[in-house]
Structure formats: structure tokens, C-alpha cells
Amino acid sequence: IFADVALAPRDPILGLTEAFNADTRANKVNLGVGVYYDDEGKLPLLKAVRAAEEARMKNPPARGYQPIEGSVVYDQAVQALLFGHDTQLLRDKRVITAQAIGGTGALKIGADYLKRLVPNATVYISDPSWENHRALFEAAEFPVKTYTYYDASTRGVNFAGMLADLNAMPKDSIVLLHACCHNPTGADLSNEQWDQVIDVIRAKGLIAFLDMAYQGFAEGIQPDAIVLDKFAHSGLQFLVSSSFSKSFSLYGERVGALSIVTESSDESARVLSQLKRVIRTNYSNPPTHGAAVVAAVLTSPELRVMWEHELAEMRERIRAMRIALVEKLKAKGVKQDFSFVIQQRGMFSYTGLTADQVDVLRDKYGIYAVSTGRICLAALNNKNIDAVADAIAAVVA
Ligand code: PMP
């Protein structure tokens, strides 16, 4: 039965990591990953996570099945993080949340649910976007197109182009938007630009699906969720996928959530019942440990403070690396202006390095970046930044 099976192409970013692992050079640097490393180049286990795990293991709970939509405490904690405590929206029960298997799992159950709701819709993702967005919505059998987003000449957003594309979309199109820290470009919309996007989405009857994978990595938990607040106040219905992979450094625990904002508590009950059918036929119900840890941190005043502090440290370290890289390139006499790297937000930067330059970085200097020129600033540290700046200065000279 498998005789004619073709070999699938390798995932481009995971393939890069395989090549990196096989490289025997001692000073190699992997800027291709989408993971936060600390200044020692290590994946952190957050103190707040460790404390919550230790408390849990002192009195280990039995592992029964969770409800289909996951733990209620967790789901409510996610809602509070996304939409703020005590807003009218939550009191009116206009938000439903289902624990999901990471941000990817949230996108997947959202995509499967939308396929049942609007089977003939087209999905629009930003050009460029996280590679898995296209693959995931195509796997859910949607046609996937792009809308204008990145402007290579300014290294920012081509906002006029984006608005024109949104205006041209047919009613009920699904628009995938990055809530903050756009992956891969690092270029985000301003608050005023979000207002205009929301106006077009309302006027054209589009369905917004906001992907929030980096809450807390741009400016902070609350400011990074401002777009959700704006959408909530607009009266629109929309979907939000969220992830704790980065903000809790819990990548392998697969902790995420899908939240859907509806028009009323009655609508919420009906939508949740349908979403539960999607989950039930997919993986039945989500795992326990990671979500229990996140819920414990978010609901304990002491652990919450500890986590917010650690999240701020991650955010500030990335920002310090952005500034240091720009300054070092300048100090090395690089003519090209790289100051856009400081304006971009989150873990990534579209550096403008060409595929050829990325090849030279890898072959000659052992520095791995994505062929599009995307680098992960969170993989820079005080030990490797000089070597990286030297190599970039050499390839752009
Ligand atoms: N959306 C975006 C934009 C991402 O960058 C990522 C992670 N790289 C995800 C979703 C998926 O997150 P998770 O690892 O929690 O599945």
C-alpha cells in the first residue's frame, strides 16, 4: 500500500535546525529558530513554571479526562489575559474559550470549525506569514490567498496595499491577522491602523481570525492585547488563537487556546457546542499538565508577579539584542541603515539579507538564518553577537 508514496518536502525551518545540528563548528549560531534562548544560549525553564510544577507534584493529582474544551479555570484565565478582567464582554458571556494543543492546535480547530460554518470561504493570510498558516488552512480544505503586508523598501507595513486588498475581499472571507509581533517580519500595525482595518472588516462583512502567539513580547501583556480590545469594542464577532509556548517557555507541553467572541451568551452556548464536536472528533479532549501549570501561575498572585517579571526580562533582553546588533553593525562601518531592526517587534526581523547572503553566512561563518532573511533576535546573546555582527557586516559589504 505504500509502494507509490512520494517523499514529502522537509519543513524548511526544521530542516535548517537539522543542518545546524549536523554542523561540527564550535562557534555556529542558529538564528533560524522561533524559540527564546536566554543570555547563556539556553532554553529557560521559568521560575514561576518550576514553582507551580513543584506545588503540583507535592500532591500529584490523578489524571482523569478533562472536559472536551479543557479546564474551566484555565479557559477563564486565558480569557482574562486576552480581554482583561471583568470587562462587559466577559460578564455578558460573549467569549467562549477551548484549551487547545498549542497555538497550532487552536488554529486547527478554528479552521475545522470555520470549514463547517462557511465552507465556501477563502482564507487570506499576510504576505509573508508564518509558513504553517497556509499549510494548515489548506489542510482544512480552504483555498488560501495572500493580502499585501510587508513593504521591503521601508521594512515596515504597506498599509495602503493592505487596506486595498481587504476592501477587495468577498463577503465572509476569513482574514488571518497577527495580533502582535508579526512572524516573520517583526512589522506590526499601529493602533490607528488597526482601527481602519476593523472598519473595513465590518464594512465588507469579513471574518477576522487573530493569531496571538507572542503576547507580552512587544510591549507587555495588556498593550499587546490592545487589538483584541479594539475588536471586542467594535461589536464584531471574531476568533483568537493564542499560545503559551513562548510566553511561558512551555513549547513541548503544547498549551494554547481558541477563543471565539460571539454576539450573545445564547450564541456562545450554540457555538461552543459545535466547537466541541470538532474537538471530540479530532483528539477528544486536551492534556492536563501544561494547562494546569499555566492556570496555577495566572491565578496565583505571587506566581503571576514572578511570571510577569520573567516575561519582561525576555522582552527586554530581545530588545537589548536588537539595539546592540544595530549599534555593532554601525560601529563596524556598515553603510546600510539597519535601524529598522529596533522598530520591529517580537522575536523576529526581516533583515533584508538575500538568499545568497544567507548561504554565505552559513557556509563561511556557521551562522544559520532562514533563506528569506528572517533572523530570530532571541537567539542572540552577549557571547555570539559580535561574531554575528562581524559576519553580517562582511556579507553586506
Ligand atoms: N502562530 C504563529 C504566528 C507562530 O509563530 C507560532 C509558533 N511559531 C504559532 C502560531 C504556533 O504556536 P505553538 O508552538 O504554540 O503551536
Unique residue bearing C-alpha cell 472598519: 199
Domain of 72, CATH number, reads 3.40.640.10
Cα-based distances in Å from 349 to 26, 328, 335: 25, 16, 19
Q: Whose CA is nearest to atom 6 of ligand 1?
A: 213
Q: Is the pLDDT of residue 86 over 80?
A: no
Q: Is the pLDDT of residue 12 over 80?
A: no
Residue 97 lies in a domain: yes
* Rounded mean pLDDT, 228-233: 94
Q: Which long-range contacts (CB under 8 A, 24 or more apart) does 319-325 make?
A: 321/377, 321/378, 321/380, 321/381, 321/385, 322/349, 322/377, 324/380, 324/385, 325/377, 325/380, 325/385, 325/388, 325/389, 325/392
Model confidence pLDDT, tens digit, residues 172-214:
999 999 999 999 999 999 999 999 999 999 999 999 999 999 9
Residue 34 shares a structural domain with residue 133: no
Q: Whose CA is nearest to atom 8 of ligand 1?
A: 34
Q: How far apart are CA 194 and CA 82, in angstroms?
A: 17
Model confidence pLDDT, tens digit, residues 339-372:
999 999 999 999 999 999 999 999 999 999 999 9
Residue 217 shares a structural domain with residue 252: yes
Model confidence pLDDT, tens digit, residues 276-315:
999 999 999 999 999 999 999 999 999 999 999 999 999 9
Write down which residue in 222, 255, 287 finishes a domain: 287
Domain of 374, CATH number, reads 3.90.1150.10
Q: Whose CA is nearest to atom 13 of ligand 1?
A: 103
Residue 74 shares a structural domain with residue 187: yes
- Per the structure, the complete domain to which residue 93 belongs is given by 65-287
Cα-based distances in Å from 301 to 48, 99, 297, 328: 11, 22, 8, 40
Any atom of ligand 1 within 6 Å of the Cβ of 373: no
Length of the chain: 397
User: Catalytic: 171?
Assistant: no
pLDDT the model gives residue 133: 97
> Phi and psi dihedrals of 63, rounded to 5?
-110, 75
* Rounded mean pLDDT, 47-60: 97
Residue 261 lies in a domain: yes
Grouping H, G, I as helix, E, B as strand and the rest as coil, residue 129 is coil
Half-sphere exposure for 61 (CA within 13 Å, toward CB): 11
User: Catalytic: 246?
Assistant: yes
Q: How far apart are CA 279 and CA 182, in angstroms?
A: 27
Contacts of 82 (CB under 8 A, 6+ apart): 212, 215, 225, 228, 240, 242, 259
Write down which residue in 287, 315, 330 finishes a domain: 287
Q: How far apart are CA 87 and CA 114, in angstroms?
A: 26
User: Can you spell out the DSSP letters for 146-194?
Assistant: EEE-EETTTTEE-HHHHHHHHHTSPTT-EEEEESSS-TTT-----HHHH
Residue 7 lies in a domain: no
Residue 253 shares a structural domain with residue 332: no
CA 206 to chain centre: 22
Residue 316 shares a structural domain with residue 391: yes
Any atom of ligand 1 within 6 Å of the Cβ of 75: no
Query: Ligand 1 mean position to 270 CA, how many Å?
Result: 28
Q: How far apart are CA 275 and CA 260, in angstroms?
A: 10
Could you tell me which of 212, 204, 275, 269 has the C-alpha nearest to residue 236? 204
Residue 312 shares a structural domain with residue 276: no
Residue 240 shares a structural domain with residue 383: no
Residue 279 shares a structural domain with residue 323: no
Residue 29 shares a structural domain with residue 75: no
Query: Ligand 1 mean position to 301 CA, how many Å?
Result: 27
pLDDT the model gives residue 15: 82
Q: What total number of domains does the chain contain?
A: 2
First-to-last alpha carbon distance for the chain, in angstroms, is 54
Query: Ligand 1 mean position to 374 CA, how many Å?
Result: 15
pLDDT the model gives residue 241: 98
Query: Ligand 1 mean position to 212 CA, how many Å?
Result: 8
Q: Is the pLDDT of residue 85 over 80?
A: no
Catalytic choice (108, 112, 130, 276): 130
Any atom of ligand 1 within 6 Å of the Cβ of 213: yes
Q: Is the pLDDT of residue 75 over 90?
A: yes
Model confidence pLDDT, tens digit, residues 120-145:
999 999 999 999 999 999 999 999 99
Q: How far apart are CA 291 and CA 310, in angstroms?
A: 18
Any atom of ligand 1 within 6 Å of the Cβ of 104: yes
Query: Ligand 1 mean position to 228 CA, how many Å?
Result: 18
Residue 311 lies in a domain: yes
Model confidence pLDDT, tens digit, residues 308-333:
999 999 999 999 999 999 999 999 99
Residue 117 shares a structural domain with residue 261: yes
Any atom of ligand 1 within 6 Å of the Cβ of 249: no
Any atom of ligand 1 within 6 Å of the Cβ of 184: no
Catalytic choice (75, 211, 224, 307): 211
Any atom of ligand 1 within 6 Å of the Cβ of 129: no
In this structure, are strands 374-376 and 348-350 parallel, antiparallel, or unpaired? antiparallel
Residue 262 shares a structural domain with residue 352: no
Any atom of ligand 1 within 6 Å of the Cβ of 240: no
Q: Is the pLDDT of residue 384 over 90?
A: yes
Residue 233 shares a structural domain with residue 279: yes
Residue 58 lies in a domain: no
* Rounded mean pLDDT, 254-274: 98
Global pTM? 0.96
Confidence of residue 227 (pLDDT cuts 50, 70, 90): very high
Helical residues (DSSP H) of 287-379, grouped into ranges: 289-299, 301-331, 340-343, 355-365
Model confidence pLDDT, tens digit, residues 35-48:
999 999 999 999 99
User: Catalytic: 130?
Assistant: yes
Could you tell me which of 88, 395, 386, 7 has the C-alpha nearest to residue 261? 88
